Amino acid sequence: MRGFLASSIGVTAAAVLSLPLALSSGAGAATTPSAARALTAGAVPGSTESLPLSVLPRDRSLRAPGEQGVPQRDVHPFSLVGVVWRDPAAVLEGRVQVRTRATGTGHWSGWQEVETHNGDHAPDPGTAEHDSGRLRGSTAPLWVGASDGVEVRVRPEAAAHRAAGSAANSAAPAPLPKGLRLELIDPGEEPPPGDEAMSGDGTSTAGAPAEGARSGLLTAEAAAASAVNADLAPLGADVIPALSKKQTESDLIDARGGEVDAKVRPYIGPRPRIVTRKGWGADENLRERNFGYTSKVKAAFVHHSATGNNYTCAQAPSVIRGIYRYHVKSLHWRDIGYNFLVDKCGNIYEGRAGGVAKPVMGAHTLGFNTNSMGVVVLGTFGSSNPPADAVDAIARLTAWKLGLYGVNPSGKTYLTSAGGNLYRKGKSVRLNAISGHRDGFATECPGRRLYNKLGTARSASASLQGR
């Protein structure tokens, strides 16, 4: 933990330079980039198939005027689906529904709803990531499992909030955003089976991502993503191990140069077990190479992924790889938007690259990414209760990470808005140190049922810190 806030440039460069950047299968045989990726530990390239939506013929009374979609068709294998459009500021006022055909069985699902979160997860205005001119508007991604057939429909809904004009005009369907496309994400192969892993609280969890499940050579990008955690785990580790509260406190005191009296213990929770990017199989060739940081972490925003609850904990790495590819290849973000991800079994995963103990700038809460971190629970919790293990994981993670920056999880803090639909740019906003996404942006996220559990998470997190 020593020096966890120090610049990562030196350690990253040293780690990368110590690795062979050209691999060979024989004397003088140079490895191509694709071959290097195939040899990379945990690299599971996957793919994205992008299909344009078109206006569907009104040959059935169920179809609404202006409905767009993709008729039933065969496609390349995929497991996660979303819809994107050209203008990230455009709002999709309508319903997005998809049905899929399961690989192997040929069984078609019923129609499933895709959440249209309309820009509430995004990089902050004024950042290079936001102002690149490449961002897209999007729905939330939906996990559907291994599939090879798809049908989608997007139905515009009446814009009843439009008060101007006649009653007929005010009830007219809102126009759909331009350039709608269906994104079909193959997250890559499942992580190979390994030994029984440990869940976030240190108990055995069959099917969880196993420590040491993947091994092999690291590319420069993978080495850099691992090197920023070099104070916490060996280079190339699949997992950052949990520490006791005593050891976590000791490491924090050491990181501060021993300036804190050893008898005055800092308020920090024990470091939880965290599955690294290598552990969930991140293809480091997808993201931008450099890392982005903010100055500190003053608050944690809790989200739900809205990907649905039909996944197993063994599939969680695949769900994460799918979200990662969706954020980078479909939405054109620099990396996955969240700083941490939590599955239904309480396993915690490293999100955006840059170091789990460092103040990495995310793209999780539009307007409030500066001096905050984003924690997403995989699932949808509007009408479903979040698993107790997931809520416990939020408490354990925030007790540790907020503790690194001297933040009381049950307290309040102030963040300055970068602009959004609730607060104007420059406004200082008083927020809970552990807030829901909806506290910073007008959205349903993290779902009513998960939002109602945040008080429990705050109390448990503060208790873990010894408050």
Per residue in 307-318, pLDDT (tens digit) is 999 999 999 999
Q: Is residue 36 over pLDDT 70? A: no
Longest Cα pair distance anywhere in the chain, in angstroms? Answer: 78
Per residue in 88-105, pLDDT (tens digit) is 989 899 999 999 999 999
Least confident span in 32-41, 131-140, 143-152, 273-282: 32-41
Q: Residue 172: what pLDDT?
A: 67
pTM over 0.75: yes
d(CA 374, CA 435): 10
Contacts of 133 (CB under 8 A, 6+ apart): none
- Identify the helix (H) or strand (E) that includes residue 294: none
Q: Is residue 459 over pLDDT 70? A: yes
Least confident span in 23-27, 41-45, 181-185, 418-422: 23-27
The model's confidence at residue 166, banded by pLDDT at 50, 70 and 90, is: very low
Q: Is the dihedral of CA 284, 285, 291, 296 positive or negative?
A: negative
Q: Residue 257: what pLDDT?
A: 72
47-186 has which CATH code? 2.60.120
Q: Is residue 322 over pLDDT 50? A: yes
- 284 vs 23: which has the higher pLDDT: 284
Q: Is residue 420 over pLDDT 80? A: no
Q: Residue 4: what pLDDT?
A: 41
Q: Which two tokens stand for residue 161?
A: 């909030």
Per residue in 141-159, pLDDT (tens digit) is 999 999 999 999 999 986 4
Query: Over the chain, what is the mean pLDDT?
Result: 83
Q: Is residue 38 over pLDDT 50? A: no
d(CA 324, CA 226): 17
- Identify the helix (H) or strand (E) that includes residue 142: strand 142-156
Q: Residue 132: what pLDDT?
A: 84
Q: Which two tokens stand for residue 149?
A: 């057939």
Contacts of 258 (CB under 8 A, 6+ apart): none
Mean pLDDT (whole number) for 121-126? 77
Q: Is residue 213 over pLDDT 50? A: no
- 356 vs 39: which has the higher pLDDT: 356
Phi then psi for residue 68, to 5 deg, are -115, 160
Q: Residue 262: what pLDDT?
A: 52
| Domain ranges, ordered by start, for the chain | 47-186, 197-464
Q: Is the dihedral of CA 326, 393, 282, 76 positive or negative?
A: negative
Per residue in 230-254, pLDDT (tens digit) is 999 999 999 999 999 999 999 898 8
d(CA 239, CA 98): 36
Q: Torsion over CA of 174, 175, 179 and 181, rounded to 10 degrees?
A: 50
The domain over range 197-464 is classified in CATH as 3.30.1020.10? no
Q: Residue 258: what pLDDT?
A: 65
- 166 vs 121: which has the higher pLDDT: 121
CATH topology agreement for domains 47-186 and 197-464: no
CA atoms within 13 Å, Cβ hemisphere of 299: 25
